[in-house]
Structure 1
Amino acid sequence: MKILYIKKKNMYVFVTILIIVILVLIMYSIYLNKAKKTFKRDIFYEGNTNEKIIAFTCNVDWGNEYIPQMLEIFENEEIKITFFITGRWADDNKDLLKEIYSHGHEIGNHGYYHKEYGKLSYEINKNEIEKCDESINNILGIKCKYFAPPSGSYNDNTIRAARDLNYDIIMWSIDTIDWREDSTSEKIISRVLTKANNSGIVLMHPTENTVRALPVIIKSLKEEGYTIGRVSDIIKKASNGSIEN
């Protein structure tokens, strides 16, 4: 009888522990899902507004000779876009960076060097973003809030580093692929216009064919009723910094 009682008691203890473990695992799973969703909300392939607006972004680590022409086009069309600048380029081209900023364009962080951030550790990711942040701040006296990883390469380390430095990660929904040798201005135009959507993000670079394509792209988008703007124009946040739904 005593043995039966002990076995019964042990069974109760086992069941109680099992229930506690299951509850802990369920709570942990809920926490991970919430954390995962929070991470995703810091990575934007497009904006979160349903307005008929498209953001133009230009990643800069080379192509100096085409930037003045791009600025002239945007000035004539009264368009402000987002330029993502590497820190190395900023340090080597202070006057040109100041010229971009003086036209009212938004400046974003593109890392210090044009590396594959998806293969880097947390410490290197953070250092690269921070160094670029410092370079831009020293030249323009501003704090950037958006980070565009070179080649769109990122991993969990990149996400954590960006979050710790109060950056949102910006990707794209429309890729001009203008850096490739076989990308003619006609192909660039087609890639943008066939994928145009509300709150879309267009990725471009300072290239000769991009300069040729821009007037046609801008004219066509405006005729379709689109406004062209910056990343900050398509990402809306509440006063507490959370993403508006």
Structure 2
Amino acid sequence: MKIFLFKRVFLILGIISFVFLLSIFCKQTVFVTSYLNPIYQGNPDKKKVAFLCNVYWGEDILPEMLKIFEREKVKVSFFIGGIWAKKNPDILKMLYNAGHEIGNHGYLHKHPDRLSIKENEEEILKTEKIIEELTGYKTRLYTPPYGERGENVLRAAANLNYKTILWSIDTIDWQKPAPDTIIYRVIPNITNGAIILIHPMPQTLQALPELIKIIKRKGYQIVTVGEILE
């Protein structure tokens, strides 16, 4: 009888230990997987959207963009190219000091799918260093140039503990469409957690005031990419 009880207790303890270890493994697996999978959209349960602005040009546009965002009381996420930051330190500091989120957009806007894991890591780290030296902020979110998301790209970002951010709505504003076209590309596709890709283009600058107003009228809050992931 005692032997039977001992075996039973031993079996129960073994099952508990297995479940505990399995839970730890699963948590770690989910964590790693979340870094390897690109993020296209934020929290679908919250009525929030985010503007993701990729920056490799637009020195003349960005100060005017900031005025609009300040007037409308919204914060956005600027994903910065390293070479651009190096050439335009004062504008980068202006974006950061205005309270906007700063992300990493690689150094030279190379095609990341054509690079090795190590080369992708170098692109990210080089930009990270420049941004940190200029602002004191260490980037943790990465948007790959051209939206390329091959294995080497995702693995490099994950190795450096970066989340790879893409988007759910593309304004395609780099093709210089009319401001009304930019608005039309966004509004019918707005959903909870939408990430809206823009660039510092003259047409985008013209579209932003009306676009922000319509988004707000629809009951959405405009936040940073980091906040929309919460």
TM-score interval, normalised by the smaller of the two chains = 0.7 to 0.9
Q: How does 1:1-245 map to 2 (within 5 A)?
A: 38=33, 42-181=37-176, 183-236=177-230
CA deviation vs aligned residue, 1:78-113 (integer Å, no higher than 9, x gap): 100000001100110000000011110000000011
Aligned amino acid, residue 66 of structure 1: I
Structure 1 residue 123, shift from structure 2 partner: 1.0
Asked whether the 8 Å contact 1:49–1:234 carries over to 2, the reply is no
Range 153-162 or range 72-81, more displaced: 153-162
Structure 1 residue 48, shift from structure 2 partner: 2.7
Go from structure 1 to structure 2 and tell me whether the alpha carbon gap of 1:234 and 1:38 turns closer, same or farther (over 3 Å shift): same
Structure 1 residue 160, shift from structure 2 partner: 1.1
When normalised by structure 1's length, the TM-score is 0.79
Greater than 2 Å deviation, 4+ residue runs = 34-37, 39-42
Asked whether the 8 Å contact 1:60–1:83 carries over to 2, the reply is yes
Larger of the two Rg values belongs to structure: 1
CA RMSD of aligned residues (A): 1.7
Aligned amino acid, residue 59 of structure 1: N
CA deviation vs aligned residue, 1:150-187 (integer Å, no higher than 9, x gap): 11012111111101111000000000100003x11011
Listed as ranges, the gaps of 5+ residues in structure 2 are: 1-25
CA deviation vs aligned residue, 1:23-46 (integer Å, no higher than 9, x gap): xxxxxxxx9xx6898157641100
Distance 1:180 1:112 in 2: 22
Structure 1 residue 63, shift from structure 2 partner: 1.2
SS at match of 1:83: strand
Asked whether the 8 Å contact 1:114–1:150 carries over to 2, the reply is yes
CA deviation vs aligned residue, 1:98-138 (integer Å, no higher than 9, x gap): 00111100000000111111111111101000100001011
Query: How many residues are matched?
Result: 203
Distance 1:134 1:160 in 2: 20
Distance 2:31 2:100 in 1: 32
Distance 1:100 1:136 in 2: 12
Distance 1:40 1:68 in 2: 33
